[in-house]
Structure 1
Amino acid sequence: MVTGPGAGQPVVQRLGAALRREREAYDPGGDRPIGGYVAVMATYVGGISALTAVVRRSGRPLPAPGPWDVLLTAGAVHRLSRVLAKDPVTSPFRLPFTRFRGQAGPAELDEDVRGSGVRRTVGELVTCPFCVGLWVATAVTGAQVFAPRATRLACSGLTALTVADFLHFARAGLHEHVD
């Protein structure tokens, strides 16, 4: 027998009240878009579930990536994540969720997240290369199952761009010390 506050309420109502108390204890001001985070997590899990079902149904063998494949993929995910989250050219995709602040570095923008709820959550996601990286890595991994050669070629190009970026920074750093 349940006793105490809400003892006569249905289980769903008691559970909802308990979740609200926990949310308040976690974020007393209510500034964090917890519901938005739940929606984004559910979308990701749904996408992974759909991808898994499609892979299983296709009967395609899963690739067995070696160390070089992992490095190639890492370079590509790094570059593509930064392009999506920081590049001026991709700012129209972030525009509904952000406010332009200025330049953040070479070919990167500084943007503030705007809105609340799911809008704020998506804004946090699309402006964070670390956050976008999970989605990009998942997409690249899925592409490696369905189009391994094309994906490897694309990853090679993006990884080459990543290395070139580091060389640009190294060269700029050397010029600062020489001048």
Structure 2
Amino acid sequence: MTSSEDVERQVRDTVHAERDAYTGGSDHPLGGYLGAMGVYAASVAALAAAARLAGRPLPEPTVWDLALCTGATHRLSRLLAKDPVTSPLRAPFTRFEGTTGPAELKEGVRGSGARKAVGELLTCPFCTGVWIATGLSAGLVFAPRATRLAALTLTALAGSDLLQFARVRIQRAAGE
């Protein structure tokens, strides 16, 4: 065996030992998470490079942009991670287990490794929120008017959801 092969084996053994020490034998997909982080970092780097090459200036977001993007990120992350209509996107990575609330599904993650990591990403609104907020930020650089319109629509939907929940609560209180 050559010296480089010895080093490669030692590195691989060390990485596996650290993974095993961390996971304690559970099926926690560290490699899949590492891959997802790599894709995210590469996507952000590509967006930054494209903005620079296109000469797109960084926007100066207002408090209204923050409010719109916050509402839009919340609503779109729930739509992607929990809504029955988007379940075909999650189906290769999840298993239907029932409902968790009004218009929201409970799904278990299937598979192992990268498949499991993608399933966890797609079923977690907190996890998808990072990607969505990044996409909205990129949208403010490349297509600010269209991004604001989309964010306005999603934020209005989030506000509508709050009103729906408030109405149900009021109706229940009146019936008690």
> With structure 2 as the length reference, what TM-score do the two structures score?
0.94
Match of 2:45 in 1: 49
Match of 1:13 in 2: 9
- Whole-Å separation in 1 of the counterparts to 2:38 and 2:99: 33
After the TM superposition, which residues 47-126 of structure 1 pair with which residues of structure 2 at under 5 Å, given as runs? 47-126=43-122
Q: How many percent of aligned residue pairs carry the same amino acid?
A: 54
Deviations 1:26-82 (A, max 9, x none): 012141011111111111111111111101100011111021211110000000000
Number of aligned positions between the proteins: 173
Task: Give the AA of the match of 2:129.
Answer: G
Aligned CA-pair RMSD: 1.5
Q: Which runs of 5+ in 1 are unaligned?
A: 1-6
The alpha-carbon deviation at position 19 of structure 1 amounts to 1.5
Match of 1:165 in 2: 161
4+ aligned runs moved over 4 Å, structure 1: none
Q: Which runs of 5+ in 2 are unaligned?
A: none
Task: Give the AA of the match of 2:90.
Answer: R
The 1:20/1:165 distance shift into structure 2, 3 A limit, reads same
Secondary structure of 1:104's aligned partner: strand
Secondary structure of 1:102's aligned partner: strand
> With structure 1 as the length reference, what TM-score do the two structures score?
0.92
Match of 1:3 in 2: none
